């Protein structure tokens, strides 16, 4: 791989990482809002099930960032 191609690859990766960070920052407040709403659910079993689903969504989001 020549230096120019290697440098372009690094730049492309950096741009992709910055885009993922912006995407995460844009949804991060909404994730916390979901957790706040879950705390208001009186049925602890349902609240935990929803919490577990949100954790899975967060995990998938994290994994998608690793696949840049």
For the chain, which residues make up each domain, given as ranges? Answer: 3-66
pLDDT class of 67 with cuts at 50, 70, 90: low
pLDDT class of 25 with cuts at 50, 70, 90: confident
Rg of the chain on CA atoms, in Å: 18
pTM for the full predicted model: 0.57
pLDDT tops 90 at residue 37: yes
Cβ atoms of 2 and 21 within 8 Å: the answer is no
Mean pLDDT, the chain, rounded, equals: 84
pLDDT class of 35 with cuts at 50, 70, 90: very high
> Which residue has tokens 């969504």?
57
């Amino acid at each position: 791989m020549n230096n120019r191609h290697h440098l372009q690859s690094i730049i492309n990766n950096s741009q992709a990482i910055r885009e993922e960070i912006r995407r995460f920052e844009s949804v991060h407040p909404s994730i916390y809002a979901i957790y706040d709403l879950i705390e208001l659910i009186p049925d602890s079993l349902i609240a935990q099930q929803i919490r577990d689903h949100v954790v899975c969504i967060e995990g998938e989001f994290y994994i998608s960032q690793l696949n840049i």
